[in-house]
Amino acid sequence: MRRGLLIFALINILVLFFLVRSVSTLLSLLLEDAAADAIQSTELPSLNSSLIEHPQLIPKIIHQTYKNGSIPEHWRNPQQSCIDLHPDYEYILWTDEKSRAFIAAQYPWFLKTFDNYAYPIQRADAIRYFVLAYYGGTYIDLDDGCNRRLDPLLAYPAWLRRTMPTGISNDVMGSVPQHPFFLRVIKVLQQYDHQWGLPYITIMYSTGPLFLSVLWKEYIQDSPSDMSRIRILMPEEYQKYTWSFFTHHTGNSWHGKDARLIFWMGQHWQFLTFCGVSLAAFVGLFLFWVYSRIMHRRTEHLYPYTTVPSPRLTDYP
Ligand SMILES: *[C@@H]1O[C@H](CO)[C@@H](O)[C@H](O)[C@H]1NC(C)=O
Ligand SMILES: *[C@@H]1O[C@H](CO)[C@@H](O)[C@H](O)[C@H]1NC(C)=O
């Protein structure tokens, strides 16, 4: 009996350990404010200056994605604003056809996963990580227009955009070719290719911003060298002010929704933590109940006659 209890306790501790471990990155992500890596506005040159104070690291390439070459009307202006501001940059539009050909040629081991994604947005997410890993450059979603030249952002080995109050997005990002972060991202994409019931969660966590945020958090926890540090573009520099880098345009952007879910999770993190702990307690109690039932049965089986039936009145007429 004593030994059984000990084993039961050990199993519970193990289960709890794995539960906590598997959500710990998510929990710590909610608390990560990225302050240490934020790009400070004082680091950036004034609006119209094309001067880069530090050497340019990221190549002058702009990547965008759409299913084919016919960009819908409401995204033509933002697209053109980026092209017009950067005549000296190479511009690449990754259509479905071009993306698939690129994966087939450069990353054939990924082609099966790429083709088998259930949702087109997963391919649109994945291709941006591969082209950044391969060519480097700046990826920009079609619903983000350019408000000023990207030059100052080319001085970092890689940068991602912060979403408030937690996580990062994958709608604009920049990187040198072969950056260790993006190499890691493309390497683990297959591992994260799971169905999670809801399409929304599946997309978020297999290729989307939640997937990227978790990897980013893991990456900074492993404290890479300064050489490959990822800098974070904060909301003010993203699109809040006249001197911010991007402008937002309406369109049915997927990532607006993502941001809202992450936002909701961030606002309710105490509640979510409470739910997690309650769930763990419930699972623990349930296991204990199962355990005591089994022990009870076993006792009955070992000593079947120890419970003396109580005498019934009818036995003594
Ligand atoms: C920057 O340039 C734009 C157009 O070239 C001009 O309208 C704007 O006034 C300039 N801003 C500053 C701060 O010089
Ligand atoms: C691009 O896709 C849209 C929507 O599916 C379609 O209407 C259009 O004809 C396509 N354009 C080309 C050039 O294939």
Q: Which ligand is nearest to the CA of 243?
A: 1
Give the chain's largest Cα–Cα span.
109
Dihedral angle of Cα 287, 288, 289, 293, to the nearest 10 degrees: 100
The alpha carbon of 70 and the centre of ligand 2 are apart by a number of angstroms equal to: 6
Please check the confidence at residue 147 and state whether its pLDDT lies above 70.
yes
Q: Which ligand is nearest to the CA of 71?
A: 2
Task: Read off the tokens for 86.
Answer: 């950067």
The alpha carbon of 68 and the centre of ligand 2 are apart by a number of angstroms equal to: 6
Q: Ligand 2: does its nearest atom lie under 6 Å from the Cβ of 68?
A: yes
pLDDT at 267 (0 to 100): 65
Task: Read off the tokens for 185.
Answer: 């991202």
The string of pLDDT tens digits covering residues 158-211 is: 999 998 777 899 999 999 999 999 999 999 999 999 888 777 888 888 999 989
The alpha carbon of 98 and the centre of ligand 2 are apart by a number of angstroms equal to: 15
Q: How confident is the model at residue 122 (pLDDT cuts 50, 70, 90)?
A: very high
Measure the CA–CA gap between 66 and 282, rounded to whole angstroms.
Answer: 46
Q: How confident is the model at residue 94 (pLDDT cuts 50, 70, 90)?
A: very high
Q: How confident is the model at residue 303 (pLDDT cuts 50, 70, 90)?
A: low
* Top mean-pLDDT range of 95-104, 218-227, 288-297: 95-104
pTM for this one?
A: 0.76
The string of pLDDT tens digits covering residues 276-287 is: 888 888 888 888
Out of 137-141, 162-166, 313-317, least confident range? 313-317
The string of pLDDT tens digits covering residues 36-51 is: 899 988 888 877 666 6
Q: How confident is the model at residue 64 (pLDDT cuts 50, 70, 90)?
A: very high
Q: Which ligand is nearest to the CA of 97?
A: 2
1: helix, strand or coil: coil
Q: How confident is the model at residue 261 (pLDDT cuts 50, 70, 90)?
A: low
List, chain by chain if needed, residues with CB within 6 Å of any ligand 1 atom.
47-48
Q: For the chain, give the number of residues.
A: 317
The alpha carbon of 154 and the centre of ligand 1 are apart by a number of angstroms equal to: 21
Strands (E), 176-249: 230-233, 246-248
Higher pLDDT, 270 or 172: 172
Give the percent of the chain with pLDDT over 90.
48
Name the closest-CA residue to atom 3, ligand 1: 48
Measure the CA–CA gap between 147 and 164, rounded to whole angstroms.
Answer: 21
Phi-psi label, residue 162: left if phi above 0, alpha if psi -120 to 50, beta otherwise: beta
